[in-house]
Amino acid sequence: MNKAGDSREIAELSVNTIRMLSVDAIQKANSGHPGMPMGMADCAFVLWTKFLNYNPDKPLWKNRDRFILSAGHGSMLLYSLLYLSGYDFSLEDIKSFRQWGSKTPGHPEYGFPGIETTTGPLGQGFATGVGMAIAEKIMAQKFNTKNFSPVNHKIFGIVSDGDLMEGVASEAASVAGHLGLGNIIYIYDHNKITIEGSTDFAFTEDVKKRFDAYGWHTILIDGHDHQQIETAIEESLNETSKPSLIIAKTHIGFGSPEKQDTASVHGSPLGAEEVKRTKKNLKWPEDKDFYIPEQVTEFFNSVKEIKIKEYNSWVEKFTKWRMDHPELARDWDVMYKQEIPENLEEELLNSVPEEPCATRVASGKIINKAAEIMPWLYGGSADLAPSTKTYLINFKSISKDDFSGRNIHFGIREHAMTAIMNGMSLYGSFVPFGSTFLVFSDYMKPAIRMSALMKLQNIYVFTHDSIFVGEDGPTHQPVEHIAALRGIPGLTVFRPADSVETALCWTYALTNKRCPAALCLTRQKIQTLKRDKSVSVEDIKKGGYIIRHEKNKPDVVLVATGSEVELSLNSAEDLNLKGIDARVVSMVSLDLFYNQDIVFQENIIPKGVPVVVVEAASSQGWYRITRNPILCLTMDRFGESAPYQVLADKFGFTRENITKAVEFWLVNLKV
């Protein structure tokens, strides 16, 4: 523990510097949330100066403690700490709070130095930290030795009343307690104020008892008493078998004469007059903005020196550890470098069965082959591995007492599963996958959006991808879900038509390191498709390709995905007999297709040629692919409970119906 902050005078001066930097930045921007930084400055100061291990000059140091500001609206608290601690933040960055192109956006964003994760929607940071904690446990068990532990850091965070109201935090807290993640220490800013007013309006539970029941270690403290804060963190560090929640009772807007303990200080600047009154109340220079006392600068510089010495000590020991344990050192490099095997594509293509099978089954074979040759691939499902085929059969499951496995049982917690995946990705050394039925992607959407926003290499495996789920009925039959996923910027969505396409989708997902991917896979068996001889693997990788060429000039282009590609190929044969020359395009991924240049797109879907979209899902989003006449043979209503063959017939997804619908439409186009 670093004792640099023992002076009460320098501590008070430093805490008020943090408060007033936040207040001044928010006032200058005329936008922001001053209450939380003012209320949590004491807890943050003690944590950052006495406990948190970091090196501002090496912000990505592997064994740094992770700090997550889950209450991301209080971002100026974090920016003030980063600036004072010596990270690559300038006073101009502080003054540019919430402005275009600044390092200090309204909520913390991953990618800036010292920002471990993007936090905005409450609860996301809390759950993401659980993923980081799981990652740390795995790496510690894998690499720590008797004489030296290269992995022995903690996941610290500040969470709020709002965080703990969100369902994703509850799910993640349950996972953390179940796994005994003693490397988590969260400080709960219990100020009892939200935007609408007192938390008593909607939040009267006993949080301590709730987290005790989850299996957490809980402590109640005065969040402005530095000795209590310090003692609580020390106690939490000594509790290694349970995650810790330090419940800190604080005053939102601490120091503001008129606004302390009120909802008005939560999300609005204090106002010029109240800023003056607050400075006077805190014995701060009323005529100075962004004022940093020289003693505070000197103090934080001294803290930085101590942090760097601790870092250098670790580097020295780590260097010796590498020499003493060359095999572990090689494995360490493999995990962090994540070099892609040159023959990955070939290996995955060779792993899939030739006989007809559901694409979820093909995916299961692929996952297991990939896990054999890519040791950083970890994952599981939301209690659906037998159905989603995502269990790694040659590896154990992670448990409270053993983190050497590769299978993660997330339980029926889809939202937390996704946020935990985000944490594992952010930690480094892992490519996580998570799976469930496509219809439950709705439960995951906020965290999927965060993965796309942060450009994380998460892989989402969604099975039971259409109304052809069958007898479970409309509650389990996805209709609008693929369109909703396609609407997330930065997420690459795939719906492969057979085992070959499935293998190539997985290849993309495993090799593209700055993009999450979603694979939508069938429950029912489908044939391995016959492709024109001219079709190459590279064609398929471009998102949309011609799987069946017309004989002369196309009269119509059938564009289909997934199980409907085979249907469209059969229909094209029938249309040909009727004198209609049909081209068939397998649209593996609209996202990849749109990434191609316009010349390529128009080579696939020529100008002026009528287009028919065949997909057992919502038509939303399809009209973007062409300005040609377009017919959508899609699913724009909920399904019904019946065997999938019956549903195909009733909803028109049959060879005969598609042929008839296309023929009728083309005739009417000419009229």
What 3-state class would DSSP assign to 376? coil
Secondary structure letter of residue 341 according to DSSP: P
Q: State which amino acid sits at residue 548.
A: R
d(CA 137, CA 59): 21
Burial of 625 (0-12, 13-18, 19+ CB in 10 A): buried
Which tokens sit at 534? 């001219």
Helix (H) or strand (E) holding 429: none
E strands, 438-554, are 459-463, 492-494, 517-520, 544-548
Q: Which residue in the list 109, 171, 414, 501 is annotated as catalytic?
A: 414
Phi and psi (nearest 5°) for 184?
-105, 130
Which tokens sit at 455? 């450009």
Distances (CA, A) of 188 to 133, 163, 175, 185, 663: 18, 9, 18, 10, 64
What 3-state class would DSSP assign to 356? coil
What DSSP string runs through 563-620? THHHHHHHHHHHHHHTT--EEEEEES-HHHHHHS-HHHHHHHS-TT--EEEE-SS--T
Q: What is the largest CA-CA distance in the chain?
A: 91
User: Which residues are CB-contacts of 442 (< 8 A; sequence separation ≥ 6)?
Assistant: 481, 484
**230 catalytic per annotation:** no
Phi and psi (nearest 5°) for 379?
170, -170
Nearest to 655 by CA among 593, 592, 584, 570: 570
What 3-state class would DSSP assign to 14? helix
Helix (H) or strand (E) holding 394: none
User: Under a CB-based contact definition with an 8 Å cutoff, are residues 545 and 487 in contact?
Assistant: no
Which tokens sit at 63? 């064994």
Helix (H) or strand (E) holding 316: helix 294-324
Written in H, E and C, the secondary structure of 191-259 is: CCEECCEEHHHCCCCCHHHHHHHHCCEEEEEECCCHHHHHHHHHHHHHCCCCCEEEEEECCCCCCCCCC
Secondary structure letter of residue 488 according to DSSP: S
Burial of 660 (0-12, 13-18, 19+ CB in 10 A): middle
User: Under a CB-based contact definition with an 8 Å cutoff, are residues 398 and 408 in contact?
Assistant: yes
- Sign for the pseudo-dihedral over CA of 161, 162, 166, 172: negative
Secondary structure letter of residue 108 according to DSSP: -
Beta bridge partners of 437: 463
User: Which residues are CB-contacts of 206 (< 8 A; sequence separation ≥ 6)?
Assistant: none
d(CA 457, CA 374): 14
Secondary structure letter of residue 535 according to DSSP: -
User: Under a CB-based contact definition with an 8 Å cutoff, are residues 477 and 637 in contact?
Assistant: no
Helix (H) or strand (E) holding 451: helix 445-454
DSSP-based helix, strand, coil % in the chain, nearest 5? 45, 15, 40
Q: Which residues are catalytic?
A: 414
